[in-house]
Amino acid sequence: MYRPFIPGLGLAAVLMTAALASCSGDEDGVTPTPDGGGDPRVDSGLPPEDSGTPDAGYDAGTGDAGADAGTSEDAGTNEDAGTPDAGAAFPPNTLSGFGLFTGTPASGGLRPVAGNIPYELTTPLFSDYSVKSRTLYIPPDAPAGYTANDVLNLPVGTIITKTFAFPADLRVPEENVRAIETRVLVHRPGGWEAFPYFWNEAQTEATLANGGRVVRGVSFIGEDGVERTLDYLVPSKNQCLKCHHLQDAQENQVLLPIGVKARYLNQDHDYGDGPINQLQHLANLGRLTGLPPVDQIPRAPNAFNAEDGTLERRARAYLDINCAHCHNPKGTAGTTSRLFLNVDNTEEFTMGVCKRPGSAGGGVGGEFDIVPGSHSVSILWYRMHTEESGKMMPELGRVLRHDQGSQLIADWIDAMPARACK
């Protein structure tokens, strides 16, 4: 008989939240926020008054911890967090240690516990055609603050998960799904930390894999009916920083989430009672404050729905979510290349138009990042299109070409009024 391995559903997460918050102690807990935007204290410590002993911090909730867990509904109160005797260190060795899900891929799929809110992005980052599911846990007593352009002001204790899976056939994405990894981003008093969890063959548990893993020979049939095979890289903990970073004022690298921005969350999702705007849903739950009326919230279009925006807007959204986490004025790759693909950059040159790269290496398709009207000699397109190691972009997270994305950017460049660069 299958024995649930998460005894304290929901509770463990709360335990940890409280514990994490308590870790902030008398530090100011201010997280460097290169994105700026808003009062940094909004997402600083906020240690619950009654969060138990400071020791609690490293008790992530093992089996024992959950014994008195009760239901997930009442898990949100800090009273429950009181006696952290369990002992597992943070981060938990297994994904289940977070208590964020019930079920497993082997038992019909991961089901987020109450308070761990699924969400989708209007245009997600491409990762080798993997199917991704995302959840957002915000501590009940510390709502996030709305920001118009940057990552939402997420409090300490926030946990973001993203599970990467490959269905055997993308045309029937619900069937024969193999989960590979679940990445967990945790907002701790000292800042965000990222942890990769690697799913076992039996699909019953994901285990912390700080060192990353390479999964050889992952195969699936694409939406076009063509079978693809790749060696899938589960990035190491430190490699998470390669994408999830910005430079703060002291030029230190700071880890930040990427997709949890209003413009990507601004769409409907069905949580069981019919479609509702995801941001409104968070606000209704008391997990998001300061939300303006929905019609005043920026929105990134679905890059592949022509009804959803102009070619320009869709292409820029695609570049924004796929490239701009590095290619922005605060990213080290961005500052080196001077190529800024963030959607709010309106300067043609730093967007790549007729811009020579500083040092592009050999054989990358052209002399300029973008040659208006000519995608085939534009380095930007070439690097997105190629599958050659050392030349393709982004640096991590892609082995295969994204056919749709490549086509979108080709169409966008070709639609620019043609002109020769010099």
| Using rule CB under 8 A, residue 241 touches another protein | yes
Rounded Cα gap, residues 415 and 310, in angstroms: 11
Instruction: Give the x-and-dash track for 317-356 against another protein (CB under 8 A).
Output: ---------------x---x-x-----------------x
Could you tell me which residues come within 8 angstroms of residue 235 by beta carbon, excluding any fewer than 6 positions away? 196, 212, 242, 396, 397
Residue 74's CB: how many other CB atoms inside 10 A?
14
Distance CA 88, CA 85 (A): 9
Q: Which stretch binds another protein (CB under 8 A): 233-241, 288-296, 304-312, 405-413?
A: 233-241
Residue 219 makes contact with another protein by CB under 8 A: no
Pick the stretch among 97-105, 144-152, 231-239, 317-325 that binds another protein (CB under 8 A): 231-239
Among 242, 261, 299, 330, binds another protein (CB under 8 A): 242
Among 107, 238, 289, 305, binds another protein (CB under 8 A): 238
- For residues 373 and 366, is the Cβ–Cβ distance under 8 A? no
Q: State how beta strands 245-247 and 206-208 pair.
A: unpaired
Q: Is 193:254 a contact under the CB 8 Å cutoff?
A: no
Q: Give yes or no for residue 402 binding another protein (CB under 8 A).
A: no
To the nearest whole angstrom, how small is the minimum distance from the Cβ of residue 23 to another protein? 17
| Binding piece for another protein, criterion CB under 8 A, among 77-85, 129-137, 238-246, 270-278 | 238-246
Enter the tokens of residue 321: 């979510």
- Which of 285, 297, 311, 396 is in the footprint of another protein by CB under 8 A? 396
Among 36, 103, 211, 292, binds another protein (CB under 8 A): 211
How many C-beta atoms lie closer than 10 Å to residue 111's C-beta?
14
- Cβ contacts of residue 20 below 8 Å, gap of 6+? 57, 90, 156, 157, 186, 187, 188, 189
CB of 53 or CB of 210, closer to another protein = 210
In whole angstroms, how close is the CB of 203 to another protein at the nearest point?
A: 21
SS3 label, residue 391: coil
Minimum separation from the CB atom of position 393 to another protein (A): 9
Give the residue among 386, 352, 379, 385 at the shortest CA–CA distance from 365: 379
Work out the number of other CB atoms within 10 angstroms of the CB of residue 270: 10
Q: Which residue is it, tokens 């920083």?
A: 241
Q: Which amino acid is at 196?
A: P
Closer CB to another protein, residue 168 or residue 377?
377
CA 93 – CA 102 distance, rounded (Å): 17
Q: How far is the CB of 308 from another protein (least distance, A)?
A: 31
Chain residues 353-372 in contact with another protein, contact rule CB under 8 A: 356-367
Interface region with another protein, contact rule CB under 8 A, candidates 106-114, 280-288, 309-317, 394-402: 394-402
Interface pick for another protein out of 27, 50, 227, 231 (rule CB under 8 A): 231
With CB under 8 A as the contact rule, the residue among 50, 344, 395, 411 that binds another protein is 395
Backbone angles phi, psi at 405, to 5 degrees: -65, -45
Query: Does position 377 bind another protein by CB under 8 A?
Result: yes
Comparing C-alpha atoms, which of 370, 320, 369 is closest to residue 343?
Answer: 320
Count CA within 13 A, CB hemisphere, residue 13.
38
Q: Of the candidates 115, 13, 119, which has an alpha carbon nearest to the alpha carbon of residue 73?
A: 115
Q: Which two tokens stand for residue 347?
A: 């300067």
For position 191 contacting another protein by CB under 8 A, the verdict is no
Q: Kindly identify the residues of this chain, within the stretch 48-87, that bind another protein according to CB under 8 A.
A: none
Q: Residue 111 interacts with another protein (CB under 8 A)?
A: no
Does the footprint of another protein cover residue 39 (CB under 8 A)? no
Q: Does the footprint of another protein cover residue 253 (CB under 8 A)?
A: yes
Among 175, 214, 296, 347, binds another protein (CB under 8 A): 214
- Coil vs helix vs strand at 17: helix
Shortest distance, position 231 Cβ to another protein, whole Å: 6
**C-beta closer to another protein: residue 268 or 367:** 367
* Binding status of residue 217 toward another protein by CB under 8 A: no
Q: 394 in the Ramachandran plot: left (φ > 0), alpha (ψ -120 to 50) or beta?
A: beta
Contacts of 144 (CB under 8 A, 6+ apart): 43, 138, 152, 153, 154, 155, 158, 282, 287, 288, 289
Q: Does 239 bind another protein (CB under 8 A)?
A: yes
Binding site for another protein (CB under 8 A): 209-212, 214, 231, 233, 236-239, 241-242, 251, 253, 332, 336, 338, 356-367, 377, 379, 387-390, 392, 395-396, 398-399, 422
